[in-house]
Amino acid sequence: MPAAAAYLEALNPEQRRAVEHGAGARDCAPLLVIAGAGSGKTNTLAHRVAHLIVNGADPRRILLLTFSRRAAAEMTRRVERISRKVIGDSAGVMTDALGWAGTFHGVGARLLRDYAEAIGLDPAFTIHDREDSADLMNLVRHELGFSKTQKRFPAKGACLSIYSRCVNAELAIGEVLGASFPWCLAWTAELGQLFAAYVEAKQRQNVLDYDDLLLYWAQTMSDPALAADIGERFDHVMVDEYQDTNRLQSSILMALKPTGRGLTVVGDDAQSIYSFRAATVRNILDFPGQFSPPAEIVTLDRNYRSTRPILAAANGVIDLAAERFTKNLWTDRNAQQGPQLVAVRDEADQARYIVERVLENRESGSTLKQQAVLFRTSHHSGPLEVELTRRNIPFVKFGGLKFLDAAHVKDILALLRFVENPRDRVAGFRVMLLMPGVGPASAQRALDHMAAASDPIAALGSAPAPPRASVHWTAFVATVMALRGRTAGWPAELLCARLWYEPHLERIHEDATPRLADLVQLEQIAAGYPSRERFLTELTLDPPDATSDQAGPPHLDEDYLILSTIHSAKGQEWKSVFVLNVVDGCMPSDLGAGTSDEIEEERRLLYVAMTRARDDLHLIVPQRFFTHGQNARGDRHVYASRTRFIPNALLHLFERTAWPTAAAGAAVARGPAVGVRIDLGARMRGMWR
Ligand code: ATP
Ligand code: MG
């Protein structure tokens, strides 16, 4: 087929080997593609899927697991683009059938709806996001009396992190505490009690948290008959970013394809950055040996993304890692300009520097979307967001506060969730407490009344109204009944929910008008989902990102700058990349425990950030930096020094500049001034600590 050859010819021989591996047979030997950043792993995977489809594989029987839903959508688009060249218009129809492309959590949620009853789960379960989970943990904590009896008992967020770590790493509480939360060791027994009660509460209320989606999926897979049934659904199972999966995820994969046949995994051990969520790089390193005969391994060493100077600097940083990563990437993309190491006075100047460069780039033809600003932690972009807003530059922020985190949006979603699953206490409390005259005690009474009944919705109707809220209560019950009866239909029922909520919103919030606009936007988002259940599930698992005007996701045709945590930037690339706060204390972060493993992970994080850039990379080093911790003088600004991951020996790989220059009007100064000031900063910080 000559047309088929065209897309294969665009690949290098190693990529092509991976794409053609197994000649499309469903029982082909397991395949591992392990290679460095920008070497075309994701692209190769997309070609492999397309190649399978154009050669007759059934797209409905391909399971494609990616790191985010955005990545799955992007992959599906690529597959379609490639296959269209061969099979023409039917490619769109085919990729529409690529229905099993998504995250482990998303796919888990869908499978569980089908298999819930087989494992004793009610298929009408609702899903808690992290905040809801923390709220439930808190409710249980109060019920057990720990918040009163145990002084300085870990906060709800810490409890949830410990719990989540135990589940995902399949470790006992004591082990997790010893390794990562040593200051909580005194409460090992109480935490055990708390977690048991938390699990019991979730079961009673028929809610699943994020971890449960994997846990129940794994549990389903532990039944041989169910495992065979689910495994049978898929001829090919493919995973991108395999280095960031955890033990539970790999055990699910092994149960899906115990012989490894039909399994393809792709990743880069130098980019493993999720160990704080119990991801383990051992998954990818141990993959080949798990099968007999062992998996086929393909390595790629040509980087197609970045210019030679950017790649040299990134390689320089990762070569200093304690661990030896074998890949040595090369590129033939020459460039005059090297990556910039830019010294600025403080975070305000850092923001101004970026705005100036971004606008300059736009003048010379780059769109905003081709540029991204990356940072270690979501709150680091604060000063930049202020500056961008002041200068009217639209932006979208990934990995930070989401549209759905806004209180008013959560209120409406809690109402829908309560209607979907009236046993969900976190949702129930949230909506009931919106009404004047309903306090925690009366909400609890109503919820207890419902919980004791076999039909909780009928019980809500017969529950006595709280005396000081009778009018509001009647309206609330009527709304719940109408929504439950699906009188208005989907998505019109959101309007019904909003009409109930409006007077409460106006009473609670002074700025009701923009919040109402958000809710109208939510109704538009809802129109894109076929049902309430799918809407709630998919929004909880992959919420839209926040934008500069806080009014939900932007229209696709708008141009906007990308702001993203490094963690959320995984797998992506931009023409220009700016990395904020490339200073010690931030990279590596001084919030972690500072073990050598943690420091090494932070080095890989910087490597991930640097390898996102195609043409243009700016690492910015503010000399004064606002920190969360306090120094001895109670001052929250510290003098920062350049990250230890770029020691003097690597400086020749960068162009060093200072901004703004002392002389007004001078564009950029070069020279040793940076190093001198940075050293001074380091000395002063040393004095304070
Ligand atoms: P990461 O480790 O960051 O996830 P990756 O290995 O998945 O990177 P891709 O994102 O697939 O790399 O590819 C990086 C860039 O290289 C993309 O722009 C892609 O289109 C391009 N590319 C990959 N393979 C080739 C090729 N054979 N010829 C030309 N361009 C290629
Ligand atoms: Mg990739």
Alpha carbon nearest to ligand 1 atom 26, residue: 11
Among residues 205, 240, 274, which one ends one of the domains? 205
Q: Is residue 684 part of a domain?
A: no
Question: What distance in angstroms lies between residue 102's CA and the mean position of ligand 1's atoms?
Answer: 20
ipTM confidence score: 0.99
Same domain, 137 and 40: no
Same domain, 464 and 397: no
Q: Is residue 679 part of a domain?
A: no
> Which atom of ligand 1 is least distant from the CA of 300?
6
> Which atom of ligand 1 is least distant from the CA of 12?
27
Q: Is the pLDDT of residue 404 over 90?
A: no
Which pair of tokens denotes residue 574?
Answer: 């931009």
Cis geometry, peptide bond prior to residue 660 (ω within 30 degrees of 0): yes
Return the best residue to mutate from 11, 15, 43 for the ligand 1 pocket (most ligand atoms within 8 A of CB): 43
CATH code of the domain containing 233: 3.40.50.300
Amino acid at 364: S
* Ligand located closest to 18 CA: 1
Among residues 176, 205, 234, which one ends one of the domains? 205
Which residues sit with their C-beta closer than 6 Å to ligand 1?
A: 10-12, 15, 35, 37-43, 268, 271, 304-305, 571, 573, 611
Q: Are strands 371-375 and 263-267 parallel, antiparallel or unpaired?
A: unpaired
Alpha carbon nearest to ligand 1 atom 2, residue: 37
Q: Is the pLDDT of residue 405 over 90?
A: no
The strand pairing partners of 617, in sequence order, are 577
**Residue 545: its pLDDT value, please?**
58
Range of weakest confidence among 318-332, 353-367, 638-652, 658-672: 658-672
Cis geometry, peptide bond prior to residue 588 (ω within 30 degrees of 0): yes
Q: Is residue 266 part of a domain?
A: yes
Closest to 279 in 3D by CA, of 181, 169, 198, 401: 169
Question: What distance in angstroms lies between residue 303's CA and the mean position of ligand 1's atoms?
Answer: 7
The pTM for the full model equals 0.86
Radius of gyration of the chain (CA): 27
Q: Is residue 685 part of a domain?
A: no
* Ligand located closest to 305 CA: 1
Question: What distance in angstroms lies between residue 45's CA and the mean position of ligand 2's atoms?
Answer: 9
Return the best residue to mutate from 44, 241, 304, 572 for the ligand 1 pocket (most ligand atoms within 8 A of CB): 304
Local confidence band at 664 (pLDDT 50, 70, 90 cut-offs): very low
**Residue 5: its pLDDT value, please?**
67
Q: In sequence order, what E strands does 525-589 have? A: 545-547, 561-565, 574-579
Q: Is residue 94 part of a domain?
A: yes
Question: What distance in angstroms lies between residue 402's CA and the mean position of ligand 2's atoms?
Answer: 24
pLDDT tens digit sequence for 99-153 = 899 999 999 999 999 999 999 999 999 999 989 999 999 999 989 988 777 778 8
Alpha carbon nearest to ligand 1 atom 19, residue: 40
Q: Is the pLDDT of residue 30 over 50?
A: yes
**Residue 683: its pLDDT value, please?**
28
- Residues of the chain with pLDDT > 90, as a percent, come to 66
Which residues, chain by chain, have CB under 5 Å from ion ligand 2?
41-42, 571
* Ligand located closest to 608 CA: 1
DSSP state of 29: P
Closest to 577 in 3D by CA, of 626, 629, 614: 614
Same domain, 532 and 580: no
Which one is predicted more confidently, 686 or 6?
Answer: 6
Same domain, 290 and 391: no
Same domain, 276 and 328: no
Give the three-class secondary structure for 27.
Answer: coil
Same domain, 102 and 143: no
| Under 8 Å between Cβ of 572 and 374 | no
Same domain, 520 and 423: yes
Q: Is residue 161 part of a domain?
A: yes
Amino acid at 639: Y
Alpha carbon nearest to ligand 1 atom 24, residue: 40
CATH code of the domain containing 526: 1.10.486.10
Return the best residue to mutate from 34, 264, 305 for the ligand 1 pocket (most ligand atoms within 8 A of CB): 305
Which pair of tokens denotes residue 565?
Answer: 């945590």
Question: What distance in angstroms lies between residue 239's CA and the mean position of ligand 1's atoms?
Answer: 16
pLDDT tens digit sequence for 547-579 = 555 444 555 558 999 999 999 999 999 999 999
* Ligand located closest to 573 CA: 1
Quote the number of domains for the chain: 4
Nearest 5 degrees, angle CA 404-CA 410-CA 416? 115
- Distance spanning both ends of the chain, measured CA to CA: 69
> Which atom of ligand 1 is least distant from the CA of 241?
4
Angle separating helix axes 173-180 and 188-205, nearest 10 degrees: 120
Closest to 357 in 3D by CA, of 320, 384, 378, 376: 384
Same domain, 254 and 362: no
Alpha carbon nearest to ligand 1 atom 4, residue: 571
Same domain, 433 and 523: yes
Question: What distance in angstroms lies between residue 273's CA and the mean position of ligand 1's atoms?
Answer: 20
What's the rounded Cα separation, in Å, for the pair 107 and 62?
A: 12
Q: Is residue 336 part of a domain?
A: yes
Residue positions in the annotated binding site for ATP?
Answer: 35-42
User: What are the two backbone dihedrals, phi and then psi, of residue 235, each rounded to the nearest 5 degrees?
Assistant: -80, -35
Which pair of tokens denotes residue 643?
Answer: 């990250």
pLDDT tens digit sequence for 261-317 = 999 999 999 999 998 888 899 999 999 999 988 899 999 999 999 999 999 999 999
Question: What distance in angstroms lies between residue 255's CA and the mean position of ligand 1's atoms?
Answer: 30
Same domain, 130 and 276: no
Q: What average pLDDT does the segment 578-595 reach?
A: 86
What's the rounded Cα separation, in Å, for the pair 519 and 496?
A: 12
Q: Give the structural domain span for 72.
A: 6-111+220-300
pLDDT tens digit sequence for 415-453 = 999 999 999 999 999 999 999 999 999 999 999 999 999
Same domain, 132 and 180: yes
Among residues 205, 239, 258, which one ends one of the domains? 205
Q: Is residue 595 part of a domain?
A: yes
Same domain, 432 and 524: yes
Task: Give, for 38, the enclosing helix (H) or strand (E).
Answer: none
Question: What distance in angstroms lies between residue 369's CA and the mean position of ligand 2's atoms?
Answer: 19
Which pair of tokens denotes residue 234?
Answer: 């898929």
> Which atom of ligand 1 is least distant from the CA of 15?
27
